[in-house]
Structure 1
Amino acid sequence: MAKKKASGKAGGEIKLQPLGDRLVVERAESESVTAGGIVLPDSAKDKPARGVVISVGDGRLLDDGSRAPFQVKEGDLVLFTSYAGEEFKVGDRELLLMREEDVLAVIG
């Protein structure tokens, strides 16, 4: 079981342990300047569909009662659909809770 500690508002730490086949991802920052050199305001930026895996659950429960191992691990940079997961905040960090099936690829 992978437990990840994230700092909360009051400076304390919060343990994040996703269940089953879920994982917690922190979105990567979106580009603020286009290839043509135009600076984008925050309201015009698309939400990035990539991020870093913060923690993973135990794996998907199989019919025989065993757990399928995750194909991603903590620290992986992943690509996912733009509507994947549920957004939530821990302190000032915006995180996503999603299923492993929402991950499209591991980058690098």
Structure 2
Amino acid sequence: MTFRPLHDRVAIRRLEGDDRSKGGIIIPDTVKEKPQEGEVVAIGPGTRDDAGKLIPVDLKVGDIVLFGKWSGTELKIDGEDLLIMKEADIMGVVDKPKAAAKAA
């Protein structure tokens, strides 16, 4: 099954958080906070303005984004946990440093 969000909605897969603290202590799953960072896996076509003109979504599939702690609706599609939220609920896109991209 494929999933395509409608209007200005975006499907996001949460990225896994760290299993250890900065001091090296292992954090159990029961007290770990859900990450507020994820990868865009699907986007809708956009929304329409008052004149009926389509305004496309500023994101693309594969973007790493930051979102609010309580943003979106959690769904399970094909056994995968996804978040569905409006583009306005996304705070921003995380850009990878150019130096790290060249080293890879």
Task: Give the TM-score category using the shorter length.
Answer: 0.7 to 0.9
Which of 32, 40, 61 aligns to 2:27? It is 40
The one-character-per-residue Cα deviations of 1:30-86 (angstroms, maximum 9, x if unpaired) are 111010111011011100001000010010211111111111110000000011100
1:90 paired with 2:84, answer: no
| Aligned residue in 2 for 1:65 | 52
More strand by percentage: 1
| Aligned residue in 1 for 2:17 | 30
| Aligned residue in 2 for 1:19 | 6
| Aligned residue in 2 for 1:101 | 88
**C-alpha displacement of 1:91:** 3.0
The one-character-per-residue Cα deviations of 1:83-103 (angstroms, maximum 9, x if unpaired) are 110001123311000000011
Structure 2 residue runs of 5 or longer lacking an equivalent are 96-104
Structure 1 residue runs of 5 or longer lacking an equivalent are 1-13
Aligned residues: 95
RMSD: 0.8
Runs of 4+ in 1 over 6 A off after TM superposition: none
TM-score by length of structure 1 reads 0.85
| Aligned residue in 1 for 2:66 | 79
- Percentage identity across aligned positions? 38
